[in-house]
C-alpha cells in the first residue's frame, strides 16, 4: 500500500517534501489505531469517530499544536482521497472532519519573485548545448507561464500546441482528475516554443519534448532538470510545482479573477486557488515598510 500511495502522490505532482512526509504521518494514525483497537490497520476499518478520537489523542495526550494537527489532518484527507480513488475504501471517514481553529498563519505556497524568475531563466541561458537549452526553456515557460503541472508537460504531444497568431494555446488532455482544458499562451511561452520547433520535427502525435535518448521526457527527468537550474541560479527548494505556483501567484497579483485562475490552472476547487491571494513574507514586509517615517 505504501508504494502505491507514494506513486500516487508523485503522479499528483506533490512536492518531494510532501511525498516523503505524508507516508510518515500516516504511520501515526496506523500506530494509534492498532494500539487502540488491537487490530491490524486497514483503511476501510477507520470511521469518522476514530478520526475524532485520534484528534483528541493528538491534542490532549501528545499536546500537538493546532497547526500541526491540521497538517496531520490535511495529510489524512489526501490519503483517503487516494484510498477512494484506488478502491481501498468505499467511504471516506475524513469527508466531514474539519480543521482545528488556529490563529497561526498558514504558510502560503512557495513561488518565485520576478527577480528570482529572471535568475532562474538566466541560469538556463548558460546551457552550452543550444538544442537542450531551447528545449528546457520551453518546458519551464509552460510551467511558469502557462501553469502546467510537470506530468502535463511530460504528456504533451506536438498537436497539443498551437502557435498560430491569435490562436496561441496549449491543450491539456489528461490533467488532474482527467480534466481537459485549453490554456492560452503568452508571448514569452510562444517565442520559446517557436525556438524549440526549430530543432523539433513535426510528425503527428509525437511527444513534444524528447530526452537525450530520443524518448519522451519523463516527469522525473523534468524535475531533476528544474532542480539543477535552480541550484545554478542560487535558488533553494525549487521544483516544477514552484514554477506553477509562480504562474498562479503572478495572475493573482495582477488582479485576475479567481475563477479564471482556477480554470487556467485546472484546480478542482476555488479554495485551492484562494491560497494565492494570501500574502507571502515579502508582501507583508513591503506593506509594513509603506508606513515607515524613515524614507
Residues with catalytic roles: 149, 176, 241, 244, 267, 276
Q: Which residues pair with 172 in a beta bridge?
A: 181
Write down the residue that cell numbers 510518515 correspond to.
Answer: 24
| Host H or E run for residue 282 | helix 281-289
Q: Which residues contact 242 (CB under 8 A, 6 or more apart)?
A: 110, 111, 112, 226, 230
Q: Return the C-alpha cell found at 35.
A: 494500539
Contact predicate 42/80, CB 8 Å:
no
Is 157 within 8 Å of 208 (Cβ atoms)?
yes
Residue in this structure with the C-alpha cell 503572478, named with its chain if needed: 250
Q: How far is CA 64 from the centre of its chain?
A: 27
Amino acid at each position: 500500500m505504501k508504494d502505491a500511495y507514494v506513486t500516487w502522490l508523485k503522479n499528483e505532482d506533490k512536492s518531494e517534501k510532501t511525498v516523503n512526509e505524508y507516508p510518515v504521518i500516516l504511520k501515526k494514525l496506523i500506530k494509534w489505531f492498532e494500539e487502540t483497537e488491537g487490530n491490524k490497520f486497514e483503511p476501510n476499518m477507520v470511521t469518522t469517530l476514530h478520526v475524532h478520537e485520534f484528534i483528541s489523542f493528538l491534542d490532549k495526550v501528545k499536546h500537538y499544536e493546532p497547526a500541526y494537527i491540521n497538517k496531520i489532518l490535511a495529510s489524512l484527507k489526501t490519503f483517503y482521497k487516494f484510498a477512494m480513488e484506488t478502491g481501498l475504501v468505499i467511504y471516506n471517514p475524513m469527508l466531514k472532519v474539519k480543521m482545528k481553529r488556529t490563529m497561526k498563519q498558514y504558510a502560503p505556497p512557495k513561488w518565485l519573485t520576478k527577480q528570482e524568475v529572471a535568475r532562474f531563466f538566466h541560469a538556463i541561458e548558460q546551457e552550452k548545448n543550444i538544442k537542450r537549452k531551447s528545449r528546457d526553456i520551453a518546458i519551464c515557460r509552460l510551467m511558469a507561464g502557462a501553469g502546467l503541472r510537470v506530468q502535463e508537460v511530460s504528456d504533451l504531444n506536438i498537436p497539443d500546441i498551437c502557435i498560430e497568431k491569435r490562436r496561441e494555446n496549449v491543450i491539456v488532455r489528461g490533467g488532474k482528475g482527467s480534466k481537459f482544458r485549453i490554456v492560452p499562451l503568452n508571448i514569452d511561452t510562444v517565442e520559446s516554443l517557436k525556438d524549440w520547433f526549430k530543432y523539433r520535427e513535426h510528425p503527428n502525435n509525437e511527444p513534444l519534448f524528447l530526452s537525450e535518448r530520443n524518448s519522451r521526457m519523463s516527469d522525473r527527468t523534468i524535475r531533476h532538470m528544474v532542480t539543477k537550474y535552480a541550484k545554478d541560479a542560487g535558488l533553494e527548494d525549487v521544483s516544477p510545482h514552484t514554477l506553477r505556483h509562480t504562474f498562479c501567484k503572478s495572475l493573482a497579483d495582477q488582479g485576475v479573477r479567481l475563477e479564471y485562475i482556477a480554470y487556467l490552472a485546472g484546480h478542482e476547487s476555488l479554495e485551492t486557488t484562494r491560497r494565492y491571494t494570501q500574502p507571502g513574507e515579502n508582501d507583508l514586509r513591503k506593506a509594513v515598510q509603506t508606513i515607515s517615517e524613515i524614507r
